[in-house]
Amino acid sequence: MNKPWLPLQEHDNELFQLCERELLRQREGLELIASENFVSPQLLACVANPFTNKYAEGLPSKRYYGGCAVTDELERLAIARAKRLFKAEFANVQPHSGAQANSAALMALAAPGDTILGLDLAQGGHLTHGSPVNFSGKLYRAHFYGVCKETGRIDYDLVAAQARALKPKVIIAGASSYPRHIDFEAFHSISREVNARLLVDMAHIAGLVAADLHASPLPWADAVTTTTHKTLRGPRGGLILWDDVELTPALNRAVFPGTQGGPLQHVIAAKALCFKEASEAAFRTYQQAVVNNCRALAAVLVAQGMQLVTGGTDNHLLLIDLRHGKLSGKDFEQTLERVAITANKNMIPGDQRSPFVTSGLRIGTAAVTSRGMGIAAMGSIAAFLVRTHENHNNAQYLDELRQEVLALAQRFPLYPHW
C-alpha cells in the first residue's frame, strides 16, 4: 500500500521528508498521550480525497454554493452513520474540532453572560468548560465543581449543592483527565432540578461509549459533543449529537454560520469511515483491550510504588501523582521523551505547581493498543516508566533504556506495509 504522501517526494521533497520523519517518530517510540491514537491506513488515505476541493456552507439540500449534490450525499452518509453508532436522533458532523463543537453547543444552549457550571480545568476539566483564558470563560459567567480531595472522584452531592446555589443555565459534564466512569444520569437529575441544560463532552470516552463500555450520555443530555479522534480512532474533528428536535435549528445554526464557515468535507468523508469502523465487532474488541490494558498498567504502577489519582482507572487513561516524587510533570515528560516515550504533563487535583510545570503525568493506552500491544507489554511499559523516573539523572542508563523501548516498539510495527 502506497503512503498517501508519496507523490510529495518529487513535488516537495522538504515537506515529504517531514512526513517521513514524523512517521519514523511514531513508529520508533511508544505513544502514551491519552488524547492520541493511530487511525487505520485506509482512514489515513481517506483524508486525501477530492472533497477537499469543495465549498459547502450550509446543510445538505440547503447550501450556499452550487455543485453540492455529491457532497450532500456524503454528509448525509456521515450523519446517518453517526446517529446509528451512538443511537442518536440528530447529528451535526461539521465541527472542525471538539472545541468548535463545544463553542457551538454553548452558543445554542446559553446566551453571553449566562452562568455555566463545569469541571475545573485543574481537576480534570477542559479549557472549553469555562476556563478564563478560553472563549467559554470570556463569554459566560463560569463557575466550577471539582473532585473530592480524599478520593479524586466527582462528588455528585456537592455538584448538586453548587447547582442549587448558582442556578446555571448550562451544566457541563465530561473531562479531559478523569480516570473514572461519569454518572450522566446523576448530572441529568441535577440539571433538571435547577432547570439547567445539560451539555456532555464525551471527547475522551467516545470510543468506549460506541463500544458500550461506558454508559452513553445520549439518554440524559440535551446535547453531546465529542472529537472524532482519541478513543474513537478517527480523523481530527468534532461532532454534536442530540435527541430533542426543538434544539435542531439552534444547534445547526450555531455551527454555521455561528462559529465556523465552510465545513471540511474531505474530513467528513474520513469521519464517515470512522463511524463505519467503530460499528464493527472488532472495534468493541479493541476498546475492551484498551480498558484492560489501562487497568493492567495501573495495577503494575501501583505495585511498583507509583501513586495514581483515584488509585486506578475505569477507562483508557490514568493520572500519575508526582507530588511526592523526584520530578515534576514537565520534567518527567521531558525525561520520557529521551527514552522514546511520549506522554504529557497534567495538573492533578490539589496541584500547587503551575499548568506549565504540573505535579502529574497523564497516560493513555489507546494508541499502544492500536499497535496490538496487550497485558504483557503493559508490564514492560510500566517498568519503563518507573525506571525512567528513578534514573532520570543517569544519561547512560537512559540511553540503554531507550534501546529497550525501541525494541518493544519494533515488535509491534506501525503501518508495516509502508
Q: Which residue has the cell 519494533?
A: 410
Mean confidence (pLDDT) of the chain? 97
119-142 confidence digits (pLDDT tens): 999 999 999 999 999 999 999 999
pLDDT at 271 > cutoff 70: yes
Nearest alpha carbon to residue 59 among 50, 49, 68, 51:
68
253-270 confidence digits (pLDDT tens): 999 999 999 999 999 999
Question: How many residues would you count in the chain?
Answer: 418
d(CA 393, CA 406): 20
Sign of CA dihedral 400, 403, 407, 409: positive
Q: Which residue has the cell 498521550?
A: 33
Q: What is the DSSP letter of 289?
A: H
Beta-bridge partner residues of 319: 362
Write down the pLDDT at residue 1: 67
Averaged pLDDT for residues 341-362: 94
Burial class of 219 by CB neighbour count within 10 A (0 to 12, 13 to 18, 19+) = exposed
Nearest alpha carbon to residue 191 among 72, 272, 109:
109
Q: How confident is the model at residue 406 (pLDDT cuts 50, 70, 90)?
A: very high
Averaged pLDDT for residues 292-302: 98
The separation between CA 313 and the C-alpha centre of its own chain, rounded to angstroms, equals 16
Averaged pLDDT for residues 37-43: 97
What domains are defined for the chain?
45-278 (3.40.640.10), 285-411 (3.90.1150.10)
pLDDT at 3 > cutoff 90: no
d(CA 269, CA 266): 5
Write down the pLDDT at residue 2: 77
pLDDT at 7 > cutoff 90: no
For helices 395-411 and 329-338, angle between their N-to-C axes, nearest 10 degrees:
70
Burial class of 14 by CB neighbour count within 10 A (0 to 12, 13 to 18, 19+) = exposed
Contact present, 2 and 417 (Cβ < 8 Å): no
Catalytic residue numbers read 55, 57, 201, 227, 230, 236
Write down the pLDDT at residue 8: 86
374-387 confidence digits (pLDDT tens): 999 999 999 999 99
Q: How confident is the model at residue 15 (pLDDT cuts 50, 70, 90)?
A: very high
- Top-confidence residue, 373 or 8: 373
